[in-house]
Amino acid sequence: MATKTPLLSHIAVVLVRPKNAENIGAAARICWNMGIERLILVRDSLPEREPMAKMATHKAAHLIDTLELHSNLEDALSHFSIVVGTTARRGRQRFVHQTPREMVDALLPQLANNQVAIIFGPEDTGLTNDDLKYCQMTSAIPTADFSSINLAQAVAIHCYELQYGIIHARKDMAPAPQLATSFELESMYTYLEKSLYTIDFIEEVSCAHWMGTIRNFFNRITLTSKDANIVRGICKKFLFHTESNLG
Amino acid sequence: MATKTPLLSHIAVVLVRPKNAENIGAAARICWNMGIERLILVRDSLPEREPMAKMATHKAAHLIDTLELHSNLEDALSHFSIVVGTTARRGRQRFVHQTPREMVDALLPQLANNQVAIIFGPEDTGLTNDDLKYCQMTSAIPTADFSSINLAQAVAIHCYELQYGIIHARKDMAPAPQLATSFELESMYTYLEKSLYTIDFIEEVSCAHWMGTIRNFFNRITLTSKDANIVRGICKKFLFHTESNLG
């Protein structure tokens, strides 16, 4: 029952600051079980190979040997246009959480023209709000009272839903357009933030709050590359204009 | 987002001859995540507590301390009336495999009146045909070419589907009747086998084959306790009658 689809090659699993090498290996194994070939690590260094390779088994050991390593999340995500944050926490954040199944349903029309990163936080703390700011969607696995799921098992449930959703997707679905990459969005936000500083709309203490609200707004309308470049262009022009006037 | 339903108390996860204590602990953690409180071990002895408890985390450690231990699968299953075997293998067996989601859909109407065991085989070999003979259903997780899924992750995907299916189940579903327990079925099969020997329908070499076919037939029609007792009663009467005539 081999089921493989080119859409799976548009998906990467990103482990953010994982502590245990075994979990990285177990994530590699389930990725390979489900036909997902890109595993990205955000971490200061690669952990020892042996415990990773052991959990990956020899069948998925090549994913361990081709692990992409990045020291920060922003770099790791730069080429992706859809970033999904996985979290156990509910209610405290500004995000609308979906179940993994709802997340996959929302993702399906986007997959043909976009690269998607599913990001998982460290075993003990999960993703921080600063990690989640790159995410257009979040996914929380429904649980009973005890909501903290083992990292490798959370990866397994998400990979399973992704593969299941993709192989059962309607064939006549209209594909959504290519969206702005994380790199294009972050560049836009940088100029937007500078501009809002310049006009004293935001200041040091309120910056994170307002930029969060603005990110939320743009996530709702899913920007294309062109959209992001227009917003960035306007901000750049405004900053140039203001500086010229000051000078 | 606490979601707990009394139906989850009708489900037990049964680990058959697991090798690694860590997998037992990880299974306990995901069971507790998903509101499943019965974890059964079929094994000669309990493994060391420490590695199990570590993976279970202190939140699910009580499942480790209340593990039900049985030295054989038949005893472990005696009180269950629905047994689901999980397997990666396809095509070679006589069973119709379902995905975990299809399995849960088929299970939902049965849950109100029946105790259900989901059984998982050892890490390296999975369930044997002899283990699978107790199963009325089997469930195989769809994968790409590499179909061997880590035990703790296979447990996670099944527990996730069970919990998800149950909390999203239609409330107006008519519950199916109580079915024969594994104990009642095994007792019926014992008398049936003796009877078929007596009339020379089966012999030593062909026994496993024919009994497998007969089990398959009865699994299709899902016997109640009354049904199983009638079949057993007829066989008993037949054997008594034959022995009297011989005597």
User: Residue A44: which CATH number?
Assistant: 3.40.1280.10
The DSSP output letter for A78 is T
All residues of chain B having their beta carbon less than 8 Å from the beta carbon of residue A32 are 144, 146
Q: Is the separation of the CB atoms in B151 and B27 below 8 Å?
A: yes
As a whole number, mean pLDDT of residues A3-7 equals: 71
* pLDDT tens profile A16-28: 999 999 999 999 9
A6 confidence band (pLDDT: 50, 70, 90): confident
* pLDDT tens profile A19-54: 999 999 999 999 999 999 999 999 999 999 999 999
- The alpha carbon of residue B98 is apart from the nearest alpha carbon of chain A, in Å, by 12
A217/A219 Cα distance (integer angstroms): 6
Confidence (pLDDT) at A78: 96
As a whole number, mean pLDDT of residues B145-151 equals: 93
In a domain, A210, yes or no: yes
Confidence (pLDDT) at A2: 46
Confidence (pLDDT) at B95: 57
Which residue in this structure is represented by tokens 């899913």? A222
Residue of A nearest to B152 (CA): A153
* pLDDT tens profile A106-127: 999 999 999 999 999 999 999 9
Share of chain B above pLDDT 90, in %: 69
In a domain, B176, yes or no: no
CB-CB under 8 Å, A90 with B144: no
As a whole number, mean pLDDT of residues B61-73 equals: 96
Confidence (pLDDT) at A216: 85
A78/A80 Cα distance (integer angstroms): 6
State whether residue A89 is helix, strand or coil: coil
State whether residue A102 is helix, strand or coil: helix
Q: Are residues A111 and A199 in the same domain?
A: no
Confidence (pLDDT) at A219: 84
Minimum-distance CB partner of A142 among B3, B32, B149 = B3
Q: Are residues A69 and A161 in the same domain?
A: yes
Q: Are residues A146 and A191 in the same domain?
A: no
Residue of B nearest to A54 (CA): B150
How many Cβ pairs closer than 8 A exist between chain A and B?
A: 117
Q: Are residues A143 and A202 in the same domain?
A: no
CB-CB under 8 Å, A148 with B1: no
Query: pTM for the whole thing?
Result: 0.87
Confidence (pLDDT) at A241: 85
All residues of chain B having their beta carbon less than 8 Å from the beta carbon of residue A158 are none
Distance of CA A35 to the CA centre of its chain: 19
Q: Are residues B18 and B100 in the same domain?
A: yes
Task: Read off the CATH number of the domain in which B215 is found.
Answer: 1.10.8.590
As a whole number, mean pLDDT of residues A170-179 equals: 84
Give alpha helix (H) positions in chain A.
21-33, 49-65, 73-77, 100-111, 129-132, 151-167, 182-198, 207-220, 225-246
Q: Are residues B46 and B93 in the same domain?
A: yes
Q: Are residues A155 and A74 in the same domain?
A: yes
Chain B residues interacting with chain A (CB cutoff of 8 angstroms): 1-4, 8, 26, 29-30, 32-35, 55, 57, 59-60, 90, 99, 101, 140-150, 152-153, 156-157, 160, 163-164, 167
Distance of CA B73 to the CA centre of its chain: 9
Dihedral angle computed from the Cα positions of residues A207, A209, A210 and A213, in that order, rounded to the nearest 10 degrees: 150
End-to-end Cα, chain B, rounded Å: 69
Residues 6+ apart with CB under 8 A from A172: none
As a whole number, mean pLDDT of residues B131-135 equals: 94
Q: Which amino acid is at B114?
A: N
A1 confidence band (pLDDT: 50, 70, 90): very low
Radius of gyration for chain A, computed over Cα atoms and rounded to the nearest angstrom: 19
Share of chain A above pLDDT 90, in %: 70
Find, among B12, B220, B228, B4, the residue nearest to B116 by Cα. B12
CB-CB under 8 Å, B164 with A142: yes
Confidence (pLDDT) at A95: 57
In order of B19, B76, B87, B88, B96, the CA distances from B125 in angstroms are: 11, 20, 10, 10, 20
Q: Are residues A81 and A202 in the same domain?
A: no
The continuous run of DSSP H or E covering A116 comes out as: strand A116-120
Confidence (pLDDT) at A74: 97
- The alpha carbon of residue A237 is apart from the nearest alpha carbon of chain B, in Å, by 46
Q: Is the separation of the CB atoms in A71 and A42 below 8 Å?
A: yes
All residues of chain A having their beta carbon less than 8 Å from the beta carbon of residue B145 are 2, 4, 35
**Tokens linked to A151:** 């990292």
Q: Are residues B105 and B154 in the same domain?
A: yes
Which domain-ending residue is among A123, A141, A167?
A167
Confidence (pLDDT) at B1: 43
Domains in chain B: how many in total? 2
Other Cβ atoms within 10 Å of B214 Cβ, number: 15
Task: Please determine, for the modelled complex, whether the ipTM score is greater than 0.85.
Answer: no
The mean of the pLDDT values for chain B is 91
As a whole number, mean pLDDT of residues A210-235 equals: 89
End-to-end Cα, chain A, rounded Å: 69
The residue segments making up the domain with residue A219 are 182-246
CB-CB under 8 Å, A26 with B153: yes
More confident residue, B239 or A12: A12
Other Cβ atoms within 10 Å of A56 Cβ, number: 27
In the predicted structure, residue B106 carries a pLDDT above the cut 60: yes
Other Cβ atoms within 10 Å of B108 Cβ, number: 19
Residue of B nearest to A167 (CA): B142
**Tokens linked to A233:** 């262009």
More confident residue, A89 or B35: B35
Minimum-distance CB partner of B33 among A60, A90, A149 = A149
In a domain, B1, yes or no: no
Q: Are residues A125 and A191 in the same domain?
A: no
Share of chain A above pLDDT 70, in %: 95
More confident residue, A245 or A149: A149
Polymer length in residues for chain A: 247
Q: Are residues B163 and B192 in the same domain?
A: no
In the predicted structure, residue B118 carries a pLDDT above the cut 80: yes
All residues of chain B having their beta carbon less than 8 Å from the beta carbon of residue A160 are 141, 157, 160
A176/B37 Cα distance (integer angstroms): 43
Q: Are residues B113 and B14 in the same domain?
A: yes
Which domain-ending residue is among A132, A167, A202?
A167
State whether residue A113 is helix, strand or coil: coil
Residue of B nearest to A124 (CA): B57
Interface probe, candidates B96, B153, B163, chain A, greatest A C-beta count within 10 A? B153
- The alpha carbon of residue B50 is apart from the nearest alpha carbon of chain A, in Å, by 17
All residues of chain A having their beta carbon less than 8 Å from the beta carbon of residue B13 are none
Dihedral angle computed from the Cα positions of residues B165, B170, B172 and B178, in that order, rounded to the nearest 10 degrees: -10
CB-CB under 8 Å, A99 with B1: no
In the predicted structure, residue A97 carries a pLDDT above the cut 90: no
Q: Is the separation of the CB atoms in B67 and B40 below 8 Å?
A: yes
In terms of phi and psi (left: phi > 0; alpha: psi -120 to 50; beta: otherwise), the region of A200 is left
In the predicted structure, residue B3 carries a pLDDT above the cut 60: no
**Tokens linked to A228:** 């992001």
In the predicted structure, residue A247 carries a pLDDT above the cut 80: no
All residues of chain A having their beta carbon less than 8 Å from the beta carbon of residue B163 are 142-144
In the predicted structure, residue A64 carries a pLDDT above the cut 70: yes
As a whole number, mean pLDDT of residues B202-217 equals: 88
In a domain, A137, yes or no: yes
Chain A residues interacting with chain B (CB cutoff of 8 angstroms): 1-4, 8, 26, 29-30, 32-35, 55, 57, 59-60, 90, 99, 101, 140-150, 152-153, 156-157, 160, 163-164, 167
